[in-house]
Amino acid sequence: MGTFKAIRIDKAEKGTTAALAPFDEAELMEGDVTVRVEWSTLNYKDGLAVTGKAPVVRRFPMIAGIDFAGTVEQSSNPQWKAGDKVVCNGWGMGETHLGAYAEKARVKGDWLVRLPESISTRDAMAIGTAGYTAMLSVLALEKYDLTPSNGPIVVTGAAGGVGSVAIAVLSKLGYHVIASTGRTSEADYLKDLGAAEVIDRAELSGPAKPLAKECWAGGIDSVGSTTLANILSMTKYRGAVAACGLAAGMDLPSSVAPFILRGVCLLGIDSVMCPIELRKIAWSRLASDLDRGKLTEITHEIGLDEVIAAGAKILAGQVRGRIVVKIL
């Protein structure tokens, strides 16, 4: 057995260290499928892991990276054979299980989703956990029976990964999308993606009133904190908000008023332990409902050697759209 290149996280006297280094194949963890990783991506959580800003990594040594797309190399799982194109995200990869920033990954076959024919391994990571989470949020709003005729949908963290894909998908489905961003200089970018209106996130970041003017039928929120509280208080009667992120904080300084006086529903979105059947639906809907041209426009490519620096940028809110990481 040889070695392969990986972004390795080790425990240090104070915190952790991250470096691109050889990793011994014999150290790969248990799993019945070995995948040749072709592409990965950079998520907010990856930024936290490679910079050590939050205790995302819970096993050492760790390979960072929470999602990958690639080709099955070896499998003892009857669902998979060499040559299958797969995508994998969450399940503790990069946290408790060796992750995606590596030439090889060994995982449980039950974690993998077969890539739809029309999605390349690069496109799968241009979508990445962020795009798949955006789709889980759209599916949650649909399950709640929201349709474009109910009214606008607000998307917060609009210029980020989840936000950008959410806007592209919602606009393709016919929704009137209101994009909330701190980077109003990106208004043209957001309108090209499909936003009908762009608002300054400062409008949503102050303390929330229990109820405010009803402005939208629903929302996809990747920001949390007072932003989510404001969105809830501005949601129309019987509307729904999918909460999937915490870019501004984990708190939710709200009241029960939107829930008990307007019947507003708060829908929780978790991508990490999401059941496999829902994952398959999400990837198949991404194949049909995400404009691939728009995806290309929002995607920027880096190499494995650039991941650590890019991790600091995503935490500083300086990344626009999606970053794919070329592994092989």
Residue 265 one-letter amino acid? C
Q: Does 93 bind ligand NDP (CB under 6 A)?
A: no
* Cα 267 to Cα 7: distance, rounded to the nearest angstrom: 34
Pick from 270, 303, 305, 309: which binds ligand NDP (CB under 6 A)? 270
Q: Does 94 bind ligand NDP (CB under 6 A)?
A: no
Q: Does 219 bind ligand NDP (CB under 6 A)?
A: no
Q: Find the part of the chain contacting ligand NDP (CB under 6 A) among 27-35, 53-61, 114-122, 244-252.
A: 244-252
**Minimum CB separation from ligand NDP for residue 89, in Å?**
9
Residues in the chain: 328
Q: Which of residues 114-133 bind ligand NDP (CB under 6 A)?
A: 129-130, 133
Residue nearest to ligand NDP (CB): 160
Pick from 154, 248, 304, 307: which binds ligand NDP (CB under 6 A)? 248
Q: Tell the residue number behind the tokens 């300084």, with chain if given.
A: 253
Helix residue ranges per DSSP H, the chain: 44-51, 121-143, 161-172, 187-193, 225-233, 257-262, 276-289, 292-298, 307-315
Pick from 138, 198, 232, 244: which binds ligand NDP (CB under 6 A)? 244
Residues near 289 by Cβ (< 8 Å), separated by ≥ 6? 135, 138, 169, 172, 173
**Minimum CB separation from ligand NDP for residue 130, in Å?**
4
* Cα 150 to Cα 168: distance, rounded to the nearest angstrom: 19
* Cα 96 to Cα 84: distance, rounded to the nearest angstrom: 25
Q: Does 247 bind ligand NDP (CB under 6 A)?
A: yes
Q: DSSP states of 115-147 as a string?
A: PPTT--HHHHHHHHHHHHHHHHHHHHHHHTT--
**Of 102, 161, 50, whose CA–CA distance to 304 is shortest?**
102
Neighbours of 242 (CB within 10 A): 28
Q: Does 252 bind ligand NDP (CB under 6 A)?
A: no
Query: How many Cα atoms sit within 13 Å of 241 on the Cβ side?
Result: 30
Q: Does 182 bind ligand NDP (CB under 6 A)?
A: yes
Q: Does 323 bind ligand NDP (CB under 6 A)?
A: no
Q: Does 177 bind ligand NDP (CB under 6 A)?
A: no
**Minimum CB separation from ligand NDP for residue 283, in Å?**
15
Q: Does 246 bind ligand NDP (CB under 6 A)?
A: yes
Choice between 157 and 218, CB closer to ligand NDP: 157
Q: Find the part of the chain contacting ligand NDP (CB under 6 A) among 67-75, 207-215, 295-303, 314-322.
A: 314-322
Q: What are the structure tokens assigned to 261, written together?
A: 């006086």
Residues that bind ligand NDP (CB under 6 A): 43-45, 129-130, 133, 157-163, 181-183, 201, 222-223, 227, 244-248, 269-272, 314, 317, 319
